[in-house]
Copies of this chain bind each other. A is one copy, B any other.
Amino acid sequence: MEHRDELLATVASLYYKMNQSQREIGDRFDLSTATVSRILKEAHDRGIVQIHISMPIPHDFELEQTLIERYGLRDAYVLQTSGESTHDTLLNAIGRLAATYLERVIKNFSSGASIGVAWGTGVHAAVSAIADNYTRNTDVVQLLGGVGELVVDSPDLGRMVAQKLGGRHFDLHAPVLVEQPQSRDVFLREPSVREGIVRAQSVKLAITGIGTMQDEASSFLRAGLLTRADLSALRRQGVIGEMCGRFYDNQGRCDRFEINRRIIGLELDDLRKIPQSIAIARGEVKAQAILGALRGGFTRVLATDDITVRAILALD
Which A residues fall within an 8 A CB radius of B? 2-3, 5-7, 9-10, 12-14, 16-18, 28-30, 43, 47-57, 59, 61-62, 65, 68, 74-75, 96-97, 99-100, 103-104, 108, 131
Contact = CB atoms under 8 A, between A and B. Distances in A.
Contacts of A47: 54
A77 to B, nearest CB: 9
Contacts of A53: 9, 12-13, 16-17, 43, 48-50
A207 to B, nearest CB: 16
B75 A17 contact: no
Given A9-B53, A29-B104, A61 B17 contact: yes
Contact of A100 (B7, B13, B100): B7
A301 to B, nearest CB: 10
Contact of A99 (B3, B49, B96): B3
Contact of A61 (B18, B29, B55, B65): B18
A50 B48 contact: no
Contacts of A51: 16-17, 49-52
A13 B103 contact: no
B131 A56 contact: no
Contacts of A16: 51, 53
Contacts of A50: 51-54
A90 to B, nearest CB: 17
A104 B4 CA distance: 10
A157 to B, nearest CB: 19
Contact of A55 (B13, B52, B59, B74): B13
Contacts of A97: 6
B54 A48 contact: yes
Contacts of A7: 100, 104
A163 B54 CA distance: 51
A9 B49 contact: no
A108 B30 contact: yes
A152 B176 CA distance: 93
Contacts of A75: 28-29
A49 B16 CA distance: 11
A47 B49 CA distance: 16
A14 B49 contact: no
Contacts of A6: 55-57, 96-97, 100
Contacts of A131: 3
A51 to B, nearest CB: 5
B18 A65 contact: yes
A143 B5 CA distance: 31
Contacts of A17: 51, 53, 61
A104 B8 CA distance: 13
A57 B51 CA distance: 20
When A and B form their complex, which 6 residue pairs have the shortest distance between CB atoms, in order from nearest? Answer: A9-B55, A16-B51, A50-B52, A12-B53, A6-B100, A3-B100
